[in-house]
Amino acid sequence: MTATGPGDREAQVRAEVLARALPYLRRYAGDTVVVKYGGSAMVDTTLSTAFGHDIALLKQVGVNPVVVHGGGPQISAMLKRLQIESTFIDGLRVTDAAMIDVIEMVLAGKVNKQVAGLINRAGALAVGISGLDGGLITARRLLRRARENGVETDRMLDLGFVGEPARIDPRVIYALSGSGLIPVIAPIGAGEQGETYNINADTAAGAIAGAVNASRLLMLTDVPGVLDGDGRLIPELTAEDARRGIASGMISGGMIPKVETCLEAVRAGARAAVILDGRVQHSCLLELFTEAGPGTLIRGA
């Protein structure tokens, strides 16, 4: 019998990992996966480097990743640097003409190219674009009702150039993905009159995932996922389960818009959406290629 050393055992472990991942690699081959990138995964160097390698690996094994990124902290830092004061109504930032110019510069410029660079350095070919390119995102002004004592009123808020997707034209995504490239998208859209709107990255990612019939929408967050009343992670929910959770108050606070984004993505054509703990290294690979990833999966049925 041939003796085995530490190196042989390590090689065997790696082979076992690959063997277990093979059915999942086959499952997602040729599929589109939309990843919303933000939070700790975006600002922590170790996590951001791992993210770049994960997205590159997905492309190399036959998956078509599409990345939609945020950039709130970077926008706030630039506004402060330029001495542009932010005004908030009911916790929402009002975006005027001067501010939208800065937001476009930061999101579609510096941040967009930094995210694409992470993937390029990992060995894949990523191209940074925004929702303005190729008519990708047509936007409309976001309308919100004012709240008093936590209750919605009939008074509508004017948030300026804050928008939401009205229509997604995915042809530029298909063109890039079909050419072996990875689209990295800044969440900015154009109104019917050519005006520019800033769009929440979660909302943009959900709309894009629905439009391209993504097999998965992966939303990287700074929370473990949806928790039950005892604080335990819920690995999977149907759309109906999620709606009941919101109605009952089990799903509350900042988790509500994330779950609603997942529900809208699934309703619009995505196969499933996952609220994923982006603080876990390689969370995207764990979700796609293992039995149970670090998050909550929401299905349409």
Helix (H) or strand (E) holding 272: strand 272-277
Q: Which of 68, 70, 72 is nearest to 35 (CA)?
A: 68
As annotated, the binding site includes 71-72, 93, 198
Confidence band of 18 (pLDDT split at 50, 70, 90): low
Give mean pLDDT, residues 267-284: 94
Q: What CATH superfamily is the domain 28-297? A: Acetylglutamate kinase-like (3.40.1160.10)
As annotated, the binding site for substrate includes 71-72, 93, 198
pLDDT digit string, tens, across residues 148-202: 666 677 788 788 999 999 999 999 999 999 999 999 999 999 999 999 999 999 9
Confidence band of 39 (pLDDT split at 50, 70, 90): confident
Percent of the chain with pLDDT over 90: 67
Residue ranges per domain, the chain? 28-297
Give mean pLDDT, residues 284-291: 87
pLDDT at 9: 66
pLDDT at 229: 83
Angle made by CA atoms 200, 203, 204, in degrees to the nearest 5 = 85
Query: Length of the chain, please?
Result: 301
Neighbours of 252 (CB within 10 A): 10
- Burial label, 167 (beta-carbon count in 10 A; 0-12, 13-18, 19+): middle
Which of the pair, 147 or 68, is modelled with greater confidence? 68
* Mean of the per-residue pLDDT values of the chain: 89
Q: Which of 131, 129, 126, 106 is nearest to 116 (CA)?
A: 126
The one-letter amino acid at 28: Y
pLDDT digit string, tens, across residues 73-92: 899 899 999 998 887 776 66
Give the separation between CA 212 and CA 106, rounded to whole angstroms.
Answer: 26
Q: Which of 69, 20, 96, 104 is nearest to 219 (CA)?
A: 69
Percent of the chain with pLDDT over 70: 88
Give the separation between CA 105 and CA 7, rounded to whole angstroms.
Answer: 49
pLDDT at 154: 77
Neighbours of 223 (CB within 10 A): 18
Give the separation between CA 140 and CA 164, rounded to whole angstroms.
Answer: 6
Q: How far apart are the first and last CA of the chain?
A: 53
